[in-house]
Amino acid sequence: MISYKDLDEDVLNHVNRVVRDFRPLAFPRDFGFDGFDSQDVIRYFTDASQFGLSLRRDTGKGILYGCGHASLRRQFLNGLSAHWRCRIVLPKLQALDWCSVFARVDFSGDISELVDVRDIGMGNSVYWLKVIFKNGKMGEFVLKEKSIRSQVFYVDVLKVLGWRYFETAVVSLKSGDWELSQYVLGQNLNAYISSHVTIANWIVPLAQRAALGDMIGMGDRHVENYVCPGDDLVAVDVSYMFWPDNEDWTLRYISGGVYELNALSRFQLDAHLLETYLGEFWRSYELTLGRIYEHKDAILRMIAKHFPDAAMPSSFFEARINDPSAYLNQMKPRVMTAFWEALRRHRYKLALVQLVNDDPEMLVDHPWLKMYYLADRDRPSAFLHAESRMPELFPLIQERARTKSGFELGFFELAPQLEQLKRTLL
Ligand SMILES: Nc1ncnc2c1ncn2[C@@H]1O[C@H](COP(=O)(O)OP(=O)(O)OP(=O)(O)O)[C@@H](O)[C@H]1O
Ligand SMILES: [Mg+2]
């Protein structure tokens, strides 16, 4: 347990600095995405019963955050020394009874000591923990506040398919529900894509994960929910599963540029290369449907084990996997239409960046534009969900880009080679 009096001047100065740095990324009061104030952060540091620190967003309004928001939120903890990080987080772990969490998960023993901790979450705190066990072994784990058990089911399916997996479990205690997982060493897919010139080796794993995700109705498969260990891919934030209208959500997410297939948009400047990789993606997707079909019975057994009281998950899966070719023939054109829409939105993203470079003040009167500007920065996404929530943004950007920054109308259309490829493939 630490109290306000224990926090030294360096810690308090650090908090004030990060609060100040966050301010330009916050929004007007009525928008629903506020900055932090120092008191909130100090309460988080000193209240052992408060597990994490969340971005201050109104839920249900569809407000998106950017990598910059997440990074500064994490910075409150991660910018401190390991000594302070452990001093702040250890009381929280003790309050939730972390020893019981580890004891109930069979990949670990009794904990002896917390060696280091970092917040690796996006919107909320998710902790990377480095611990020593009583038997002298050291381990790295990820602890989240989470009651949904879909990740555990997903990992069991990965085992059935012989794909890379990591051990994970959800433990329910008086203090809440906690998901404890092995730490997968690697960057998340977004960080990986941004920092590597080629992602050719990833086309097959991307297509495999997309095919599996579609068969089990898995949502929220955006690039920050995959981690890249070596040259493989694992989903680490599995929640939505067997979602009845999952295909509609998948198309919306692809239109917004954030799903597995969207990783290929980086080849848009070379239509020939894009065509090659799209071909590889869909070949792997089809092969994967075949592989999932071969393991259908084992997956159905997993569904029965994890969802014993519901008939819907198995009927959802069977409705799709029983006729893989029909599924593919029906979905592929819809998915490709969404993919081209993502490339079209990418043009609007480029235009918005240019407009802001020319006149940063323009965002002051347009909080939704500011939201997308910040949310899409350092990510492949472009205007996720804008089609239903803010369709007027597209004409607004087009109009301003033409009148204020001298853009030609043609700028907002796909390049002629891409138009041609689109016609060939549709
Ligand atoms: N088991 C793991 N191994 C390695 N990295 C992980 C693991 N779990 C999560 N991460 C990293 O932490 C990040 C955040 O985790 P996660 O996606 O589960 O939470 P979140 O997105 O912050 O939660 P929310 O969706 O509630 O905002 C991931 O993008 C990933 O980089
Ligand atoms: Mg996530």
Asked, for residue 166, whether it belongs to a domain, the answer is: no
pLDDT tens-digit map of 169-196: 999 999 999 999 999 999 999 998 888 7
Work out how many domains the chain is built from and give that number.
2
Pair (298, 397) in one structural domain: yes
Asked, for residue 131, whether it belongs to a domain, the answer is: no
Which residue's alpha carbon is nearest to atom 21 within ligand 1? 122
* Ligand 1 site-directed mutation target among 51, 67, 107, 122, most atoms within 8 Å of CB: 122
CATH number for 370: 1.10.1070.11
Pair (77, 204) in one structural domain: no
pLDDT at 106: 67
Q: What percent of the chain has pLDDT over 70?
A: 99
Is a pLDDT exceeding 90 seen at residue 81? yes
What is the mean predicted confidence (pLDDT) over 93-120?
89
CB of residue 179 inside a 6 A radius of ligand 1: no
Asked, for residue 268, whether it belongs to a domain, the answer is: yes
Is a pLDDT exceeding 70 seen at residue 83? yes
Pair (273, 390) in one structural domain: yes
Is a pLDDT exceeding 80 seen at residue 325? yes
Q: Check residues 59 and 383 and name the one with the higher pLDDT.
A: 383
Among the bound ligands, the one closest to the CA of 150: 1
Pair (97, 201) in one structural domain: no
pLDDT bucket at 199, cuts 50 / 70 / 90: confident
3-state secondary structure the chain: CCCHHHCCHHHHHHHHHHHHHHHHHCCCHHHCEECCCHHHHHHHHHCCCCCCCCCEECCCCCCCCCHHHHHHHHHHHHCCCHHHHHHHHHHHHHHHCHHHHHHCCCCCCCEEEEEEEEECCCCCCCEEEEEEECCCCEEEEEEEECCCCHHHHHHHHHHHHCCCCCCEEEEEECCEEEEEEECCCCEEHHHHHHHCCCCHHHHHHHHHHHHHHHHCCCCCCCHHHEEECCCCCEECCCCCCCCCCHHHHHHHHHHCCCCHHHHHHHHCCCHHHHHHHHHHHHHHHHHHHHHHHHCHHHHHHHHHHHCCCCCHHHHHHHHHHCCHHHHHHHHHHHHHHHHHHHHHHHHHHHHHHHHHHHCHHHHHHCHHHHHHHHHHCCCCCCCCCHHHHCCCHHHHHHHHHHHHHCCCHHHHCCCHHHHHHHHHHC
Pair (214, 344) in one structural domain: yes
Is a pLDDT exceeding 80 seen at residue 108? no
pLDDT bucket at 200, cuts 50 / 70 / 90: confident
What is the mean predicted confidence (pLDDT) over 53-75?
95
Asked, for residue 179, whether it belongs to a domain, the answer is: no
pLDDT at 118: 98
Chosen domain end from 83, 102, 121: 102
Pair (300, 191) in one structural domain: yes
Cα 325 to ligand 2 centre (Å):
31
Asked, for residue 90, whether it belongs to a domain, the answer is: yes
Pair (233, 376) in one structural domain: yes
Full-model pTM:
0.95
Among the bound ligands, the one closest to the CA of 164: 1
Pair (91, 195) in one structural domain: no
Chosen domain end from 102, 118, 142: 102
User: Which domain does 28 fall in, by range?
Assistant: 4-102
Q: Which of 98-112, 283-297, 301-315 has the highest mean pLDDT?
A: 283-297
pLDDT at 135: 86
Is a pLDDT exceeding 70 seen at residue 107? no
Residues around the ion ligand 2 (C-beta < 5 A):
225, 237
Asked, for residue 109, whether it belongs to a domain, the answer is: no
Q: What's the mean pLDDT when you consider all of the chain?
A: 94
CB of residue 144 inside a 6 A radius of ligand 1: yes
pLDDT tens-digit map of 201-240: 889 999 999 999 999 999 999 999 999 998 899 999 999 8
pLDDT tens-digit map of 224-282: 999 999 889 999 999 989 999 999 999 999 999 999 999 999 899 999 999 999 999 99
Asked, for residue 171, whether it belongs to a domain, the answer is: no
Cα 224 to ligand 2 centre (Å):
6
Asked, for residue 192, whether it belongs to a domain, the answer is: yes
pLDDT at 195: 84
pLDDT tens-digit map of 384-425: 999 988 899 999 999 999 998 888 888 999 999 999 999 988
Pair (93, 223) in one structural domain: no
Pair (217, 359) in one structural domain: yes
CB of residue 260 inside a 6 A radius of ligand 1: no
Chosen domain end from 102, 126, 160: 102
CB of residue 225 inside a 6 A radius of ligand 1: yes
